[in-house]
């Protein structure tokens, strides 16, 4: 077997390795064969001296637990997908509650404004100021919930994109 065929076969048989480690391993055996050729061996002799592909693959497998790494990656991906789904569901509920709160603050603000006008006519300025203060506080709460809803909608969109990947 010549050097190129040997390295191609080795690359195919070591395809379970991470890309950078595969390239380092191929480069290592390429250099080993080249060094033997430089010392005067023929290409076929140098390839035979390195050892069989089966031996190399077995020794590489023995050095690292590559099957376990792939299994861990699968478990991590499964966990990540489950968390993304739970997060998306939670964001939907948060959006619903945010809308309910926003509508609640808006309705409360209108009621306080109506109450302020009614008390101004019947009870005078102090009651009017109290209702106007409450209306301003509720308006501030309502205005705070608007960006929260935007962030929640943004989070839902990003979660959907992440799940699609």
Cα(100)–Cα(80) distance, integer angstroms: 30
pLDDT in the model for residue 29:
92
Q: Which pLDDT tens digit goes with each residue over 64-96?
A: 755 545 555 666 677 777 777 777 777 677 667
Q: Kindly give the parts of the chain with pLDDT less than 70.
A: 65-76, 91, 94-95, 98, 149, 165
pLDDT in the model for residue 32:
92
pLDDT in the model for residue 65:
57
Domain boundaries, the chain: 3-64, 67-164
pTM, to two decimals: 0.41
The DSSP letter of residue 123 is T
**Which residue from 21, 8, 19, 18 is spatially nearest to 53, judged by alpha carbons?**
8
SS3 string, 31-43, reads HHHHHHHHCCCCH
């Amino acid at each position: 077997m010549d050097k190129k065929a040997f390295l191609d076969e080795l690359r195919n048989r070591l395809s379970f390795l991470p890309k950078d480690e595969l390239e380092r391993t191929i480069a290592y055996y390429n250099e080993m064969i080249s060094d033997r050729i430089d010392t005067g061996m023929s290409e076929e002799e140098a390839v035979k001296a390195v050892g069989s592909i089966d031996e190399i693959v077995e020794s590489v497998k023995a050095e690292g637990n590559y099957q376990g790494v792939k299994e861990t990656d699968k478990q991590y991906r499964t966990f990540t997908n489950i968390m993304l789904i739970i997060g998306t569901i939670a964001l939907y509920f948060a959006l619903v509650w945010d809308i309910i709160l926003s509508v609640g603050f808006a309705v409360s603000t209108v009621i306080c404004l109506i109450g302020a006008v009614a008390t101004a006519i019947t009870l005078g300025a102090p009651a009017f100021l109290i209702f106007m203060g409450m209306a301003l506080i509720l308006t501030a709460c309502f205005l705070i919930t608007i960006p929260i809803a935007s962030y929640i909608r943004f989070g839902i969109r990003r979660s959907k994109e992440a799940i699609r990947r």
